[in-house]
Amino acid sequence: GMAQNTIKAYRRDLIQFQNIMLSQDISDPFLVKLDNLYDYLGVLWQKDMASTTIARKLACIRGFYDFQQARGNIKANPAKKLDTVKRKQSLPQVLSEKEVDKLLEAPKGDILGLRDKAMLELLYATGMRVSEMLDLDIGDIELDGGFVRCRGKGEKERIVPLGDIAKEALLEYLNYSRPKLNKKRNDAYFLNNRGDRLSRQGFWKIMKAYTKEVGITKEISPHTLRHSFATHLLKNGADLRTVQELLGHADIATTQIYTHLSQGRIRQVYRKTHPRGVKKESPD
């Protein structure tokens, strides 16, 4: 058998893994995909852990999924292809602006399509966490003022602005779709077919279906639009503090993960704008 200490360490690793997955809106370990594992890896790198510690943690996760696969609980081990050493790959998958456009145009104009369009537009317009969006009640979105009242982690509230396209999609949903779904006089903003608050699992199924429909082959997670929102803002010149505020990150170090994704853009701005960014040709 294993040494007690090793078992204890593995138990700690699995609990930490579970908590990080919950923060990514994944409550079922059997739904974890390779992309989510890279998100997990990103969190570990952020904590500046020794690579030996990270290797142990990943071995533990791999072992856990091997075991589940052997027991027939999952078809394939999502951790099999996880490359431990490549730090840069711990970055979350991000859709290009074109891919986002395709995804947001996918829903049809029927009752559920209007709802789905409103949700996808809202996620990309605000960068909200999926759980924050599904927790919204009527009254949390001010369409006239153009903002969302968002309850983040630890019940911290933040106000996030809404763009015109998202406002339009939300208005359509409120006028033509929600009244038909609202069979139970429910306060929840986004409702399922039965008139209850839409669940994370419900949303995840919807998101995956549209991604497949428009032919996006990247590994996505429920937070893909949040990651894309942050990256596109930085790429187009937004500053880190603003993005931190919008995402509701307590610590700017978390927001910095996204700077890697738009590092090329940041270097370019720096070289252009910093007086000593580019070495001038010195006269002979």
Residue-wise pLDDT for 230-245, tens only, equals 989 988 888 888 988 9
Answer whether 231's CB lies under 8 Å from 246's CB.
no
Residue-wise pLDDT for 143-158, tens only, equals 999 999 998 877 789 9
Most confident of 25-29, 48-52, 58-62, 97-101: 97-101
Assigned domain for 231 exists: no
Assigned domain for 261 exists: no
Looking at the DSSP bridge assignments, the partners of residue 160 are: 148
Q: What long-range pairs does 211-219 form, CB within 8 A, spacing at least 24?
A: 211/103, 213/106, 214/99, 214/102, 214/103, 214/105, 214/106, 215/102, 216/95, 216/99, 216/102, 216/103, 218/35, 218/93, 218/95, 218/99, 219/33, 219/34, 219/35, 219/93
CATH code of the domain in which 73 resides: 1.10.150.130
Answer whether 121's CB lies under 8 Å from 170's CB.
yes
Assigned domain for 41 exists: yes
41-45, 93-97, 132-136: the lowest-pLDDT one: 41-45
Tell me the whole-structure pTM to 2 decimals: 0.64
Instruction: Print the domain residue range for 170.
Output: 98-214
Tell me the percentage of the chain whose pLDDT exceeds 90.
50
136, 209: one domain = yes
133, 207: one domain = yes
Split at pLDDT 50, 70, 90, the class of 3 is confident
Return mean pLDDT, the chain.
Answer: 86
103, 80: one domain = no
Count structural domains, the chain.
2
Final residue before a domain boundary, out of 214, 230, 263: 214
Bigger pLDDT: 264 or 41?
41
37, 130: one domain = no
Assigned domain for 249 exists: no
Residue-wise pLDDT for 155-200, tens only, equals 789 999 999 999 999 999 999 999 999 999 999 999 999 999 999 8
Residues with active-site annotation? 129, 153, 223, 226, 249, 258
Assigned domain for 90 exists: no
69, 19: one domain = yes
122, 36: one domain = no
CATH code of the domain in which 155 resides: 1.10.443.10
Assigned domain for 66 exists: yes
Split at pLDDT 50, 70, 90, the class of 9 is confident
119, 201: one domain = yes
Measured from the Cβ of residue 31, the count of other Cβ atoms closer than 10 Å reads 16
